[in-house]
Amino acid sequence: MDTVSIPFRDKEIECASREKIEAIQLEALRRQVEHALKTDFYSKRFAKAGITGPQDIKTLSDISRLPFTTKGDLREAYPFGLLAVPQSEVVRVHASSGTTGTPTVIYLTQKDLDLASDTMARSLTAAGGSKNDIIQNMMTYGLFTGGLCFHYGAELMGAMVIPTSAGNTLRQLKFMKDFGTTMIHATPSYLLHLHSAIEESDELKREDLRLQKAITGAEPHSEELRQKIQDALGIEVYNCFGMSEMNGPGVAFECIFRSGMHVWEDRYIAEILDPDTMEPVADGETGELVLTILCRDAMPLIRYRTRDLTRFIPGPCACGRTHRRLARFTGRTDDMLIINGVNVFPSQIEEVLLKTPGVGSNYLIVVEKTGALDKLTVQVEITPAMFADDARVINALRDHLKAEMQALITINPAIEIRQPGSLPVSEGKAKRVEDRRTAL
């Protein structure tokens, strides 16, 4: 039988005993608690919870004494309320995708950035990546961590990185062919789109590409969809979980066995809690993922409620790593929509509608799949007076809504104007979103 060689960046840590991992976590948690007290935000929060310093954290289970942090807290602390070092120490800022208004930002010192890159490099190595790879990063560069944070990690691993960023599929294909790209990083929707583009191309065939692996994440997708992409492109597809609040991609990553994402427990404490009681669920049960970052100086984040639903996969992994694995995400506890990788809150759409004269009282947000991509349609009732107006006025309203929404959520929605009273009115809680996507 062939023996599979299993790649590691830091085998001692990646395969450390549970005792060792927990000892690292306890020490780091105590340090983070002490450090967090330097921020206005946590000094107030901790005081309320009766936490005065690291001496209150005697064992790992004392984490349950610490208060949670939410996205709302991050917005309130914008821009510098969670800064725990002098501002002159900060070298980079990132923000969560898609959200405007008050964004949730993170800041990093050079040391934070180096560690984040190391975590990313460790993840890519676990997936079988190496300095021999030619990696094309098709995630948006800019505030979104999927661009730069992934990029720095891939460079640290020693790969040759092509920062094409998102979109421009024909150019993506040209670079993939000309440079012999072996690994790509893209959303699952974009991977399917890329496959269709290859099928439709007259100039390029699958055989012209050296592509072996894709790293994917940023939006929920099913095991069936992974399989479909793997079969269509003839590659291995690796699931990667990340969020900007936790330094971006690479928080949890699949190894070459692709059976769940190892969450790097020397750098994060992952809890899975019942979202109603906020108590731990039974081992292997699904609940909300709550994360504490253990090694960030510029911006500590303690017990951050991700709103993502997942579970720990019980038992050891064939690779020998001891860091526990997270199962594929099954949804969220809040109403955030992820549309082609971009986070959108229905409240952002409502904000535009409410401030636009001529818009009536009812609307419906419809999300569906068209081919590989998600499509967002906003059905809008207009007022009787507006409805009586001529077509030019109505078209102008449609264009206005489209432009305003695109500016706010960075996604181009279709706007369907509806006559007053035509959309269903639900008894009780209004149903504003119809998500018609299945995972495939």
Interface residues with ligand ADP (CB under 6 A) are 96-97, 146, 217-220, 239-244, 249, 306, 308, 329, 332, 338, 341, 343
Distance CA 207, CA 352 (A): 47
Q: Which residues pair with 237 in a beta bridge?
A: 214
Minimum Å gap between C-beta 104 and ligand ADP is: 8
Distance CA 433, CA 367 (A): 8
CB under 5 to 8 A by kind: which of ligand ADP, Zn ion, none does 319 bind? Zn ion
* Complex with ligand ADP: residue 217 or 413, whichever CB lies closer: 217
Minimum Å gap between C-beta 220 and ligand ADP is: 4
Angle, in degrees to the nearest 10, between helices 145-157 and 110-126 = 70
* Complex with ligand ADP: residue 95 or 176, whichever CB lies closer: 95
* Complex with ligand ADP: residue 330 or 419, whichever CB lies closer: 330
* Complex with Zn ion: residue 74 or 255, whichever CB lies closer: 255
Q: Where are the beta strands (DSSP E) in 349-396?
A: 359-370, 373-382
Stretch that binds Zn ion, among 310-318, 327-335, 395-403, 432-440 (CB under 5 A): 310-318
Lookup: tokens for 244: 């900007």
Stretch that binds Zn ion, among 10-18, 248-256, 267-275, 308-316 (CB under 5 A): 248-256
Distances (CA, A) of 431 to 41, 337, 437: 35, 14, 16
CB 251 within 8 A of CB 263: yes
* Complex with ligand ADP: residue 217 or 275, whichever CB lies closer: 217
CB under 5 to 8 A by kind: which of ligand ADP, Zn ion, none does 308 bind? ligand ADP
Count other Cβ atoms within 10 Å, centred on residue 417.
20
326 binds Zn ion (CB under 5 A): no
* Complex with Zn ion: residue 209 or 261, whichever CB lies closer: 261
CB under 5 to 8 A by kind: which of Zn ion, ligand ADP, none does 244 bind? ligand ADP
Minimum Å gap between C-beta 317 and Zn ion is: 3
Distances (CA, A) of 421 to 382, 384, 431: 9, 9, 15
Distance CA 58, CA 27 (A): 10
Angle, in degrees to the nearest 10, between helices 40-48 and 18-36 = 110
Distances (CA, A) of 210 to 81, 151, 177, 232, 386: 47, 20, 7, 15, 56
Q: Which of 73, 25, 59 minimizes the C-alpha distance to 304?
A: 73
Stretch that binds Zn ion, among 51-59, 162-170, 302-310, 314-322 (CB under 5 A): 314-322
319 binds Zn ion (CB under 5 A): yes
Q: Give, for 92, the enclosing helix (H) or strand (E).
A: strand 90-95
Among 317, 336, 366, 393, binds Zn ion (CB under 5 A): 317
CB under 5 to 8 A by kind: which of ligand ADP, Zn ion, none does 241 bind? ligand ADP
CB under 5 to 8 A by kind: which of ligand ADP, Zn ion, none does 344 bind? none
- How many residues sit in the footprint of Zn ion (CB under 5 A)? 4
252 binds Zn ion (CB under 5 A): no
Helix (H, G, I), strand (E, B) or coil at 131: coil
218 binds Zn ion (CB under 5 A): no
Q: Which of 269, 238, 270 minimizes the C-alpha distance to 126?
A: 238
Angle, in degrees to the nearest 10, between helices 188-200 and 169-179 = 80
* Complex with Zn ion: residue 4 or 414, whichever CB lies closer: 4
Minimum Å gap between C-beta 331 and ligand ADP is: 9
CB 277 within 8 A of CB 151: no
Minimum Å gap between C-beta 308 and ligand ADP is: 5
Distance CA 204, CA 198 (A): 7
CB under 5 to 8 A by kind: which of ligand ADP, Zn ion, none does 220 bind? ligand ADP
124 binds Zn ion (CB under 5 A): no
* Complex with ligand ADP: residue 343 or 362, whichever CB lies closer: 343
Binding mask 223-242 for Zn ion (x = CB under 5 A): --------------------
* Complex with Zn ion: residue 317 or 394, whichever CB lies closer: 317
Question: What is the radius of gyration, based on Cα positions, of the chain?
Answer: 23
Count other Cβ atoms within 10 Å, centred on residue 427.
5
Residues near Zn ion (CB under 5 A) are 255, 317, 319, 321
